[in-house]
Chain A
Amino acid sequence: MKQEQFEHTFKADVLIVGGGFSGLWAAIGARRFVENVLIVDKGPRGWGGLGTMSGGDFQCVVRGQTKVEDALKDVVHYHDGLCDQEMIENILIQSYERFEHYERLGHLFLRDESGELKGIPQRGLKNMRMLLHRPYGAGGPSMATTLLKEVNRLGVRRIGRMCVTDIVKDENTGCVVGAVGYHTQSGYTCAFETPAVVLAAGAGAWKPSYLMSSSTGQGTYLGFRAGAETSHNEFVHVWNVPVMFGWEGQTGLLPLGARFVNAKGEDFMEKYYSPVLGSNTDVTYNCRGMAFEARAGRVPIYLDTTPMKPEDADIMRPERGWALNNFNRLQSDEGVKFFGEKTQWMPQVMWHSGGVVTDLSYQTRVEGLFAACRTRAIDPGVYMGGWALCTTAVTGYIAGGGAGELAKGKGRLGFNMEGARIACQEAMAPLGKEGLSPKDIMRELQEIVYPADVCLIKSEASLNRALERTKYVKQELAPRAAVEDPRQLAKLHESLSMLLCTELFVRASLMRRESRSGHYREDYPERDNENWLQWIYAAKDGKGEISLYPVSVPIERYKIKPHKYYMDNFTFPKS
């Protein structure tokens, strides 16, 4: 399709890519400084993103209950020292303000009879507490409704079914002047003139067919192409899921007595972790245990809920929302009771921990380009309950505020229409042609990342195999992808960001020759603080290829000197 001009042009003070919780919070933050804030999202205008499917629970350092420094110590411990302490401290401090903000807007959290907030410690970390929303299943929709109502009140513009394909920068200053993309149902091309863009597009992911299928790393893709640095690419977040169906709330099942067992019926996790944590451990470590069991031939893996007391099962029984529909249908159509029986479970790669590097105002090294929550890499492959809903709120609000403040000072900067047109033509080129299906490209990438020896128990040999196949997809398959319909073009662009995340993940995994947090190298199973208390950054080199380089964690500057490590709770077999 030849593009002579843009079908639609939009002017905004701040453009936010992604209308999930981060993007909505960014809009609330930006509106403190500027009037014209525009959110675009690939999904429908009114949905609120993946957070709608969450539990609506919130990780929070409650004032008067917990000290920020104690919580920070817990996170440094949990992240095995690989922690941006200044950023995390900021998040922990502001978590309480956003919690109060949520309650002010009408999303309330559970309190006990005396009116005290009920904080549930996460992953055996006593200062990291999750505030609950009840009834179970209603929290995500409640948060989404609350935030959508607020952005409507603030007059935030929102457009759905919009795919942004490139950030446009000024040729001389390198500052952001806009973005280009297209409307995914009509295929009409769009230009956005704006001095500030917030990437709030979630994490990279490989379309696990369960609730996480809409984010594919387009924030990372846009940031990388615009010249921002990325980090945490060697980490993926692996989650335990039922083989056949979807389920939410697994982290609540284990502390209440449910157990993962192997084909022999053994509670295999006892072998791999210390009794200190019990079952209340991080999911990544559970999944690594499953992978070792699989290697020993003791599969399938089951979740056994029979040890749960009936009253505890009642607590975890879905009461609202999609989870209730799902549960009812499982019982009526498939005879699956779930409680009081064993069901087959497995690890599944849920999202890429990698993302864009920013400063404390969440601005990347590209002036005018900001990133929030999972598009901003924060975690090394481990995850606490309620953490995403905390970080979407806190980092979204700060990033939006930073973008708004910058836009207020700058005004609109004039648009490089020629550069934008070229970028857009390139993005639209595969439309209306015959070629490989984007779904097949995605399936190739899933087959690269999903095997346990790539995502859970890594080695030089398995990662090299993955890298070779990634290169093949990049050089031979992806250039041949084409589509007939703009709706499918969006899927093709998703496959391209998945491809970038795949390459970043495999290359960074090869580079980190040690084990730490969510990254486990069978050939380097120990932590190596001397060489690897470092982040691995990745950015675009002069040829547009990936360049990787280590950046030291500035421990000397940080408050907390790492001395204990979460990974030391576990022992896995040495080969």
Chain B
Amino acid sequence: MLQEIDREKCTGCGSCFKSCGLDVFRLDTNQPSVAPCQWACPTGVDIRGYVYLLQQGKIRDAAEILMAANPLPALTGRTCHRFCEGKCARTKVDDAVNINALEQYVGDWVLGRSPEPSFIRHIGKIGVIGSGAAGMSCAYYLNRKGYAVTVFESEEQPGGLFRTAYPELASGVLDSQIDYLGKLGIVFECGVTVGDGREVTLEQLREKDYKAFLLAVGAAGDKTKRAVPPFSSVASITEDSLISVSPGAYVTSSKDVFAAGNATGGGNSVAHAIAGGREAAESIDRHINGWHLLEGRGDAKIRLENPPGAGIKSVPRLNRSSLTWREKGDQGFVFEEMLEESQRCMTCGSKAFAAFRDDCMNCYTCEMTCPEGAVVVHPFKENLPRTIPYETEGVR
């Protein structure tokens, strides 16, 4: 029977969990130290946590963890710069886990299901100006917190940079993503300009019971073409035509006006914009509830020091559409590819435990597979009903 798992030695690689024929092991991914992938991710997704759930085929639970930090995995699963993969501990064994494709798998799975509308429990409305990554992210989290959110978009169709910079997304997944957000209860008003001297002013919206605003209007490369100036009455604008916000709180010089994404000059990637939108949503919620904007936020995290890698067997990275039998047209992973690629994740820093101890059959697979010598099997087996009576306990 399984005797012990040395928690000090365990690096969380999941070799025991993945190889056990009787499925005895589980991992605890909820640990104080942060895996290298999560550390590198601008949105701070608990990648080891959700990929561990994917390893078990638990797509719904994985989506919950992923979307707690990034609400647009179908889009980022296609466009993200993959900060995570660059730091993946697996690069020291063979190649990084294809986190991006796993993320796309979860995102596509989510968009393939019709969501229940969020329950709106707040009376006042929130206006989000701009429907790119930061705007959609903020709208999503405010909607999940129970706010009625309207997203204003000056173009005829929502999506911001996703639509203009990635034409291949435009007709398919982007529309599905916006449709999904619509089903949650987020209202998109397109072809409407908002700001000082525009079709709709913030002052008019305030009169219509809008309690707070997010400015997520992006930033054109050419600073003379930026969409920021029409907000100079509510926010201070920098020399570069960007909106100035207070660090960590995303609030402008007006208490009820927040800003995120490229319009604030922060980060310059889809992932940074999503993180900004999410954090601004948190600030807006705090503002409306009259709570301090920064209290208890940004808790100090510990970076994992010794990720697994030594003694891990090389397994080739699975890329999209790598199986020959696949039916054409769908570029993402299918279920079995997702399972296979997710198994490459070493869930760095997790801790293994015996969840179904009574099924151990003394095959020693876990002990032989563990690269750290952390798993110890005792040679004595389960006490079963006997075929013949016995009088003496013990070996002899």
CB distance from B46 to the nearest CB of A (A): 18
Q: Check: A322 CB closer than 8 A to any chain B CB.
A: yes
Q: Which of B250-258, B279-287, B380-388 contacts A (4 or more CB under 8 A)?
A: B380-388
Chain B residues, Cβ within 8 Å of A242:
395
Q: Check: B339 CB closer than 8 A to any chain A CB.
A: yes
Interface residues of A in 423-465 (CB under 8 A from B): 439, 443, 446-447, 450-452, 455-456
User: Which of A45, A447, A455 is in CB contact (< 8 Å) with B343?
Assistant: A45
Chain B residues, Cβ within 8 Å of A245:
362, 379-381, 395
Taking a contact as CB atoms under 8 Å apart, the answer to whether A45 and B340 are in contact is yes
Chain A residues, Cβ within 8 Å of B392:
300, 344
Q: Check: A266 CB closer than 8 A to any chain B CB.
A: no
Q: Check: A347 CB closer than 8 A to any chain B CB.
A: yes
Chain A residues, Cβ within 8 Å of B166:
none
Interface residues of A in 209-243 (CB under 8 A from B): 209-214, 238, 242-243
Taking a contact as CB atoms under 8 Å apart, the answer to whether B325 and A155 are in contact is yes
Total count of chain B residues near the partner, CB < 8 A: 48
Contact A45:B387 (CB < 8 A) given known A155-B324, A214-B22, A326-B379: no
Chain A residues, Cβ within 8 Å of B18:
44, 46
Give the docked Cα–Cα distance between A301 and B392 (Å): 10
User: Which of B361, B380, B385, B394 is in CB contact (< 8 Å) with A450?
Assistant: B385
Q: Check: B83 CB closer than 8 A to any chain A CB.
A: no
Give the docked Cα–Cα distance between A487 and B363 (Å): 20
CB distance from B366 to the nearest CB of A (A): 10
Give the docked Cα–Cα distance between A572 and B135 (Å): 85
User: Which of B382, B387, B389 is in CB contact (< 8 Å) with A238?
Assistant: B387
CB distance from A258 to the nearest CB of B (A): 15
* Identity of the chain B residue whose Cβ is nearest the Cβ of A246 in the assembled complex: B362
Give the docked Cα–Cα distance between A113 and B41 (Å): 61
Interface string of B359-392 (1 = CB under 8 A from A): 1111111011000000001111110111111111
User: Which of B360, B361, B385, B394 is in CB contact (< 8 Å) with A447?
Assistant: B385
Interface string of B150-163 (1 = CB under 8 A from A): 00000000000000
* Identity of the chain A residue whose Cβ is nearest the Cβ of B361 in the assembled complex: A213
Q: Check: A257 CB closer than 8 A to any chain B CB.
A: no
Give the docked Cα–Cα distance between A155 and B337 (Å): 13
Q: Check: A371 CB closer than 8 A to any chain B CB.
A: no
Give the docked Cα–Cα distance between A471 and B57 (Å): 37
Chain A residues, Cβ within 8 Å of B367:
325
Taking a contact as CB atoms under 8 Å apart, the answer to whether A290 and B365 are in contact is no
Contact A210:B362 (CB < 8 A) given known A325-B367, A349-B387, A487-B23: yes
Taking a contact as CB atoms under 8 Å apart, the answer to whether A47 and B19 are in contact is yes
Taking a contact as CB atoms under 8 Å apart, the answer to whether B323 and A299 are in contact is no
Taking a contact as CB atoms under 8 Å apart, the answer to whether A325 and B323 are in contact is no
Q: Check: A469 CB closer than 8 A to any chain B CB.
A: no
Chain B residues, Cβ within 8 Å of A238:
387
Chain B residues, Cβ within 8 Å of A53:
363
Taking a contact as CB atoms under 8 Å apart, the answer to whether B21 and A44 are in contact is yes
Q: Check: A183 CB closer than 8 A to any chain B CB.
A: yes
CB distance from B164 to the nearest CB of A (A): 36
Chain B residues, Cβ within 8 Å of A447:
385
Contact A209:B382 (CB < 8 A) given known A299-B390, A322-B363: yes
Q: Check: A321 CB closer than 8 A to any chain B CB.
A: yes
Give the docked Cα–Cα distance between A325 and B370 (Å): 13
User: Which of B1, B58, B358, B378 is in CB contact (< 8 Å) with A186?
Assistant: B58
Chain A residues, Cβ within 8 Å of B381:
209-210, 244-246
Chain B residues, Cβ within 8 Å of A42:
23
Give the docked Cα–Cα distance between A443 and B385 (Å): 8
Q: Check: A348 CB closer than 8 A to any chain B CB.
A: yes
Chain A residues, Cβ within 8 Å of B386:
346, 450
Q: Check: A191 CB closer than 8 A to any chain B CB.
A: no
Chain B residues, Cβ within 8 Å of A490:
23
User: Which of A211, A243, A325 is in CB contact (< 8 Å) with B361?
Assistant: A211
* Identity of the chain A residue whose Cβ is nearest the Cβ of B24 in the assembled complex: A487
Taking a contact as CB atoms under 8 Å apart, the answer to whether B359 and A213 are in contact is yes
User: Which of A184, A300, A491 is in CB contact (< 8 Å) with B391?
Assistant: A300
Give the docked Cα–Cα distance between A456 and B361 (Å): 24
Give the docked Cα–Cα distance between A45 and B343 (Å): 10
Give the docked Cα–Cα distance between A43 and B21 (Å): 5
Q: Check: A333 CB closer than 8 A to any chain B CB.
A: yes
Q: Which of A82-90, A95-103, A335-343, A516-524 contacts B (4 or more CB under 8 A)?
A: A335-343
Taking a contact as CB atoms under 8 Å apart, the answer to whether A157 and B379 are in contact is no
Pick 13 A–B contacts, CB within 8 A, sort by A. Answer: A46-B18, A47-B19, A157-B323, A185-B57, A186-B57, A209-B362, A244-B379, A300-B391, A346-B390, A347-B387, A348-B384, A451-B385, A487-B356
Interface residues of B (CB under 8 A from A): 1, 18-23, 56-59, 323-325, 335-336, 339-340, 343, 356, 358-365, 367-368, 377-382, 384-392, 394-396
Interface residues of A (CB under 8 A from B): 8, 35-36, 42-47, 49-50, 53, 155, 157-161, 183-186, 188, 208-214, 238, 242-246, 287, 290-291, 294, 299-302, 321-322, 325-326, 329-330, 333-334, 336, 341-344, 346-349, 439, 443, 446-447, 450-452, 455-456, 487-488, 490-491
* 6 A-B pairs closest in CB distance: A209-B382, A186-B57, A322-B364, A213-B361, A185-B56, A294-B388
